[in-house]
Amino acid sequence: MNAKSSLATVSAHDAIPDTQGSELIFPELTCQLYVSKLTCLVGPHRAQLRTYLLMLAGIYQASVGKVEVFGQSISGLNQQQWRKLRCQIGYLSGAAPLQSGQNGLMNVMLPALYHANWPFQKTIDKAQALLSELHCHFEYTAFPAQLNSFQKVQMALARALLLDPALLILDVPFNDLGAKEREKMGELLATHQCHRTVCMIGGLQYPHFLADHADQIIFISEHKIINFNGWTSFSQSEDSDVKELLSVL
C-alpha cells in the first residue's frame, strides 16, 4: 500500500450518528475506509445500517465522536466546503429514487447540473459516454417508469459516477434484482471500484460479490459492532448474532 492509499478516505472515531428519533440503540463506531477498498455494513436492522452509512458519507452528523471525510471533520464544514466535498461523493440509494418526471439522460446529468459548473453540452456528452460504458442498452430518453429494475439501477449508478467521485456510497445496490441481474450488477461495481473508496449496505443479497471484493465487513447491531477483515472471517465468525444473521441467507 503506497503512501496515498494508506490515508483513510473516511475515518470514524467512537462515532454515533444522529439517530433522527429512532428507537434503536446505536453503538459507537470506529473504522477507516480506504482507497480501492470496499466496506460493507451488515446487520439485522436496515434502517440502522442506513443511518451509519449516511454518517460515513457525511450526510448525517455524528452526535457523539468524530467523522472525517477526506481529512475534514464533517461537523466543521460550512455550506461552501460541504458543496465542494459533495462533488467527490457519489451516492446510489433506493431511498433517493430517480426523478420520475425526468428522462434517463437528465436523471444522470442532475449531479453535474446541481454541483458542478459544467457547460450543458459537456454534461450531455459525459452522461452519454458513461451510460454507454455501463452497457445501458435502452433509449436514454426513456423515463424511469419505462425501464426494468436492472436498467433503473444502471441509470442510478451512472448518476452516482458522473462526477467521478473518490467515495462511492451504495445503499442496497442489489435490491429488487434477480440472481442473474445481481451478478451483472456485481461486475459493474467491481469495474468501477479500483480507484475509489466504496462503502455499501445490502451485500448479503449477493454473498459471492462480497466473497470476491469486500475488504472489510462491519457487523452492526444494537448490542455490538464487529469489524471483520473480509468475507472469510465474517462467514466463519463464532459470534452468535453474526451466525444468526447468516442463517437466514
DSSP calls for 82-139: HHHHHTTEEEEETTS---TTS-HHHHHHHHHHHH----HHHHHHHHHHHHHHTT--S-
Distance of CA 212 to the CA centre of its chain: 17
Q: Which of 36, 42, 10 is nearest to 227 (CA)?
A: 42
pTM, full prediction: 0.90
Q: What is the pLDDT of residue 96?
A: 63
- Cα 116 from Cα 158, distance rounded (Å): 16
- Cα 147 from Cα 129, distance rounded (Å): 19
The helix/strand/coil state of 30 is: strand
| Per-residue cell: 8 | 483513510
Q: What pLDDT tens digit does each residue of the chain (249 aa) get?
A: 444 445 899 999 999 998 878 889 999 999 999 999 999 999 999 999 999 999 999 888 899 999 999 999 988 888 888 888 888 999 998 666 788 899 999 999 988 888 887 899 999 999 999 999 999 999 999 999 999 989 999 999 999 999 999 999 999 888 888 889 999 999 999 888 778 999 999 888 888 999 999 999 999 999 999 999 999 999 999 999 999 999 987
